[in-house]
């Protein structure tokens, strides 16, 4: 499915995307989902997590501010999503930083089949079992692109899913096919939530294009990267607060033409 077609489907289908996510960037995620063409719903009570996934088109699980109850709700929602056959998108925020976080992430992978995992390089390395030095959630790049891609492929094959590593070049792989998205700008790391919003955008595209999650992921990462580039070009001179708002602006304005003209990828 080509990238423009993916975006068109998101806008036409207006998919409902259930999030169990952190309280730091949840507002940004809701606005990113709405802007790009989805409908967000956030619900993490144990009593309704499964029911909410049962009426949704995708489930996003983000462990930014996890706790034991939230992980229980994620497992209930994840199992319901797996049963219904809707994609589950996992953001292992801060994985590698504490042993509790590592344990919870492992438990989630054991209990729920993830369709897509998206993180930065140290989070993905940690999840894949490599020693990684995590510095908060923005994480330092400790390995080169090839090593990161190899880790992503190994994790994708192990978990039978798509793995995305965000970075200067985003890696997308299902273990066999690998591509690199060269959109985006470094300033995205200077506002909180650009990683979380990225996962939400992937979730929204996957919700609308569940027939082809690889193409949906590619289109989502391009849409996010192009929006970041354009927002920085338009508002960088004003500063990070305006850039933040500009990112939401462009997630709403992005269209098939921008994607055709400005989307860039390489085979990895």
Residues lying near its own copies in the complex (CB under 8 A)? 16, 22-28, 30-31, 34-35, 39-48, 51-52, 55, 64-68, 94, 97-101, 134-138, 190-193, 238-242, 244-253
101 is in an annotated binding site: no
Q: Whole-number minimum distance, CB 180 to its own copies, in Å?
A: 26
158 is in an annotated binding site: no
103 is in an annotated binding site: no
Rounded Cα gap, residues 246 and 235, in angstroms: 7
Rounded Cα gap, residues 153 and 163, in angstroms: 7
- In the numeric block, which tokens belong to residue 229? 């580039």
Cβ proximity to its own copies, 88 vs 105, nearer residue: 105
Cβ proximity to its own copies, 17 vs 172, nearer residue: 17
- In the numeric block, which tokens belong to residue 125? 């390395």
- In the numeric block, which tokens belong to residue 42? 């956030």
245 is in an annotated binding site: no
Cβ proximity to its own copies, 52 vs 163, nearer residue: 52
Q: Whole-number minimum distance, CB 120 to its own copies, in Å?
A: 12
Collapsed DSSP state (helix, strand, coil) of residue 93: coil
Q: Whole-number minimum distance, CB 71 to its own copies, in Å?
A: 9
Q: Give the residue from 193, 191, 138, 187 showing the smallest Cα distance to 27.
A: 193
Q: Whole-number minimum distance, CB 212 to its own copies, in Å?
A: 24
> What's the sign of the alpha-carbon dihedral 207, 208, 214, 217?
negative
- In the numeric block, which tokens belong to residue 126? 């940690």
Burial of 32 (0-12, 13-18, 19+ CB in 10 A): buried
Cβ proximity to its own copies, 47 vs 131, nearer residue: 47
Cβ proximity to its own copies, 30 vs 156, nearer residue: 30
Collapsed DSSP state (helix, strand, coil) of residue 114: coil
**Residue ranges of the binding site:** 42, 118, 166, 193
**Residue ranges of the binding site for ATP:** 118, 166
């Amino acid at each position: 499915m080509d990238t423009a077609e993916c975006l068109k489907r998101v806008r036409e289908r207006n998919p409902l995307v259930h999030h169990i996510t952190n309280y730091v960037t949840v507002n940004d995620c809701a606005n990113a989902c709405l802007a790009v063409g989805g409908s967000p719903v956030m619900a993490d009570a144990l009593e309704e997590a499964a029911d909410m996934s049962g009426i949704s088109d995708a489930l996003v699980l983000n462990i930014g501010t996890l706790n034991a109850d939230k992980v229980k709700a994620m497992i209930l929602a994840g199992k319901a999503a797996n049963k219904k056959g809707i994609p589950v998108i996992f953001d292992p925020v801060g994985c590698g930083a504490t042993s509790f976080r590592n344990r919870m992430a492992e438990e989630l992978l054991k209990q729920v089949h993830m369709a897509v995992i998206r993180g930065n390089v140290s989070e993905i390395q940690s999840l894949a079992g490599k020693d990684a030095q995590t510095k908060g959630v923005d994480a330092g790049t400790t390995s080169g692109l090839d090593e990161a891609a190899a880790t992503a492929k190994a994790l994708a094959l192990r978990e039978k899913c798509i793995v995305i590593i965000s970075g200067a070049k985003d890696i997308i792989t299902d273990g066999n096919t690998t591509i690199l998205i060269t959109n985006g700008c470094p300033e995205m790391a200077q506002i909180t939530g650009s990683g979380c919003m990225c996962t939400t955008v992937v979730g929204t595209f996957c919700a609308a294009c569940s027939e082809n999650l690889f193409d949906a992921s590619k289109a989502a990462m391009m849409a996010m990267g192009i929006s970041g580039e354009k927002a920085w070009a338009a508002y960088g001179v004003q500063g990070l607060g305006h850039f933040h708002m500009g990112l939401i602006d462009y997630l709403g304005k992005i269209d098939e033409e921008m994607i055709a003209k400005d989307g860039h990828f390489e085979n990895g």
